[in-house]
Amino acid sequence: MNTASPKMLQCSDMTVLERQNACLKWQQEQLQQQQQQEQQSYFSELSGVFSSQVQGFQGGLVSGDSVLGDMVMTRQVKPDPGLETAWHEMEKVDMAAMGFGPCGYSNGPDFDMNYAISRTSSCPTFVAAAVAAQAVEVKGKESIVSEKMGSTVGRGSFKKRKVDTLQNSKVVAEDDSKRIKACAEEGESKITGPNTNKSSSSNNKNKKETSTGTSKENSKVSDVQKPDYIHVRARRGQATDSHSLAERVRREKISERMKYLQDLVPGCNKITGKAGMLDEIINYVQSLQRQVEFLSMKLAAVNPRPDFNIDNLFAKDVFPSCATNFPAVGMSSEMANNPPYVQFNPVEQVVSSCGLEMGINSLDMALRRTISAPVSIPYASFLDSSCFTQIQPSATWDVELQNLYNVAFDQEGSMPFPSQPFTGTLLEKQNWGPELI
Amino acid sequence: MRPPSSLKQEFLKKWITGLQRCSSSKRNMSILERTKAIKLSADVAMASARNSTTCWSRALIANASKDGSDGKHLVEQILGLESERLMMKKASTGALVCNKRIRSKKILKRSCRIPRTRKCVPQVALATSIAKRMVRKRTQVLKSLIPGGEFMNEVSLIEETLDYIISLRVQVDVMRGLAGVSELVNHN
């Protein structure tokens, strides 16, 4: 709770800074144009800036644009009427203080104006106090106004920063409904907690940004009065009771899982929508299951006994090489006790996509070497084969490979090597079609 | 997530032990019997590689070791002590959880039958209902595909699908490699 307000202020500071910079730049242009009436132009512009700031907030509310450029535009329009009304305000406001107003809390790079102001002002000491007071005032106003703007207006940098503050600081909701929403979101973030923080936070950010993006600009006016970030998230016309909230959380979970599935199932990138995705998933699962059946039939056909004469295979030094290559496929990072699907990173994709090729390639290489080269194949040359370049081997992998390779060498029998040169890839032979039996 | 290499290795080891054990029991098997044995041992090995962390693996092993089926001995042999642990787990938690889920779904269905008054444009309602029906059909099909899928809600169904797809892929890779190697060996 305490962390929320300074962060809000920081947000508002940044936006104010940006606005300040834009204002100052515009003011400099104005200065160059109106060099005749220096003093008057300074004060008028200052007053114009100041008044336009105050007016600009209200103007921003009305105009409904939170993007900085647009605000600059409005402010460019404003000061002309602002100039006229400025003199009235100048009477009320201390001019020197006003002069320091912009430079008091603007740390922007355009300081020429500020130096000019410092030259013209006469009493800096109690100006500072006044400036501080005003700065606080203005900041307070701005924070409230920025909240209002954020709640009424539906897009832009405000939104993103507020999403960040909401994520970083668990906002204390003022109403029960808001608390429920916060809890739902917290719960959601906790559920996705076991995921890597980066992926979950990015996912959350994306989700929340999309949800805020979909919230329409013309949200109800009643939302304006409550300075609350969670209202930004509520879509228009949607109930805020716990049922629909829970449902929304559930739906978002499902869509997140569907995204993982999209990465996993090939050819799903173009398909949006649940039904099509489910179709593809069903087809893929069915095809994989059919593959397993065909392969088991093929294995049964090839071998007279189900144990495949494994001793012979081991003796031929071909089988263990394919078994040893499997650790090469693996990754060095291991997660413990997480649900298996969770760590679905691009690395896994790479592995799973090239795992097959690597397995086959390794078999291929192993067979070629057993055919052509003598038995004492150097360990290093085997490692240098191209299929290992994609994945960095870890230290444990080296040790494993070496051990298994030594074992394989020990078990080698006197079986003759296959004489046929093995040229084609194994994949060509893997047509699990009717040629089996 | 376990790296796929260790998954493949584990699957391979368990599968080979299973095959050896099942070949030791019967000497002469027809090709269909062998197919079944191979597939069964592969599936059981795959499921046990998950160490019963996922629902589908438990369901698969449970189905394989049903009383009166061929696979029971196989499962017991492959898993050994693990099978007893799995059976204990299943008996205690699985049935209860499944029954709870079924009951809660029935309650939900009954509550949904109570008509809700909605103000919808009829065209929109039609489109959404059609879409919902399509999605429901497909989830039904998916549930039938994945072992033990009937008892899951949507979210866990998708998670299980993910895991199942990964393990199926591993299975296919290993089997394909083995098939290629053994074919080559047997040609010469």
Q: A256, A260, A281: best mutation site toward chain B, by most B Cβ within 10 Å?
A: A281
How many other CB atoms are found less than 10 A from the CB of residue B188? Answer: 11
- Per-residue pLDDT, averaged over A77-101, amounts to 46
Confidence band of A183 (pLDDT split at 50, 70, 90): very low
Is B187's Cβ below 8 Å from some Cβ in A?
yes
Tell which wins on pLDDT, A381 or B37. Answer: B37
Tell me how far apart the alpha carbons of residues A33 and A148 are, in angstroms, rounded to a whole number.
35
Query: Of the given ranges (A35-39, B22-26, B136-140), which has the lowest mean pLDDT?
Result: A35-39
Tokens of A191: 């559920």
Average pLDDT value over all residues in chain B: 75
Give me the interface pTM, i.e. the ipTM. 0.82
Tell me how far apart the alpha carbons of residues A95 and A47 are, in angstroms, rounded to a whole number.
8
Nearest of A240, A200, A207, A210 to residue A223 by alpha carbon: A240
Nearest of A80, A81, A59 to residue A70 by alpha carbon: A59
pLDDT at A238 over 60: yes
Confidence band of A188 (pLDDT split at 50, 70, 90): very low
Q: B158 contacts in A (CB within 8 Å)? A: 254, 257-258, 261
Tell which wins on pLDDT, B145 or A326. Answer: B145
Tell me how far apart the alpha carbons of residues A83 and B161 are, in angstroms, rounded to a whole number.
67
Contacts of A385 (CB under 8 A, 6+ apart): A361, A362, A365
Average pLDDT value over all residues in chain A: 52
Share of chain A above pLDDT 90, in %: 2
Q: What is the H or E stretch that residue A278 is in?
A: helix A274-302
Query: Of the given ranges (A84-93, A157-166, A182-191, A328-337), which has the lowest mean pLDDT?
Result: A328-337
pLDDT at A405 over 70: no
Tell me how far apart the alpha carbons of residues A405 and A415 are, in angstroms, rounded to a whole number.
18
Is A344 close to B134, i.e. CB distance below 8 A? no
SS3 category, A2 = coil
SS3 category, A171 = coil
Tell me how far apart the alpha carbons of residues A162 and A160 are, in angstroms, rounded to a whole number.
5
Distance between B85 CA and the closest CA of chain A, angstroms:
18
Is-contact A96 A123, C-beta < 8 A?
Answer: yes
In our burial notation (b when 16+ CB lie closer than 10 A, e otherwise), range B93-109 reads ebeeebeeeeeeeeeee
Q: Which of A302, A340, A429 sits opposite B54 (nearest CB)?
A: A340
- Write down the domain spans for chain A: 4-228, 230-302, 344-429
* Residue in the block written with tokens 């059976």: B87
Is A108's Cβ below 8 Å from some Cβ in B?
no
- Per-residue pLDDT, averaged over A387-396, amounts to 40
- Write down the domain spans for chain B: 4-187
Q: Please calculate the CA angle A188-A4-A136 and round it to the nearest 5 degrees.
A: 160
Is B181 close to A289, i.e. CB distance below 8 A? no
Tokens of B174: 């290993």
pLDDT at B25 over 50: yes
Confidence band of A286 (pLDDT split at 50, 70, 90): very high
Is A191's Cβ below 8 Å from some Cβ in B?
no
Q: Which of B12, B162, B188 sits opposite A257 (nearest CB)?
A: B162
Is B8's Cβ below 8 Å from some Cβ in A?
yes
Q: What is the H or E stretch that residue A51 is in?
A: helix A38-63
Confidence band of B74 (pLDDT split at 50, 70, 90): low
Tell me how far apart the alpha carbons of residues A50 and A37 are, in angstroms, rounded to a whole number.
19
Q: B6 contacts in A (CB within 8 Å)? A: 327, 330, 334
| Confidence (pLDDT) at A233 | 59
Is A282 close to B142, i.e. CB distance below 8 A? yes
Most confident of A198-212, B4-18, B36-50: B36-50
List the single residue in B with minimal CA-CA distance to A341. B163
Residue pLDDT, tens place only, A192-211? 444 444 444 444 444 444 44
Q: What is the H or E stretch that residue A339 is in?
A: none
Is-contact A257 A281, C-beta < 8 A?
Answer: no
* Residue in the block written with tokens 């949006």: A272
A401 residue type, one letter = L
Residue pLDDT, tens place only, A334-343? 333 444 444 4
Question: What values do phi and psi take at B102, rounded to 5?
Answer: -65, -45
Tokens of A92: 């009320």
B178 residue type, one letter = L
Is B176 close to A310, i.e. CB distance below 8 A? no
Is A341 close to B159, i.e. CB distance below 8 A? yes
Cα pseudo-dihedral A116, A119, A125, A130, rounded to 10: -40
Q: Which of A260, A293, A296 sits opposite B162 (nearest CB)?
A: A260
Instruction: Tell which B residues from 115 to 174 touch A, by Cβ distance under 8 Å.
Output: 131, 134-135, 138-139, 141-142, 145-146, 154-155, 158-159, 161-166, 168-169, 171-174
Is B19 close to A307, i.e. CB distance below 8 A? yes
Is A340 close to B139, i.e. CB distance below 8 A? no
Q: B31 contacts in A (CB within 8 Å)? A: 297, 300-301, 437
Q: A334 contacts in B (CB within 8 Å)? A: 2-3, 6
Most confident of A82-96, A109-123, A223-237, A362-376: A223-237
List the single residue in A with minimal CA-CA distance to B34. A300
pTM of structure: 0.45
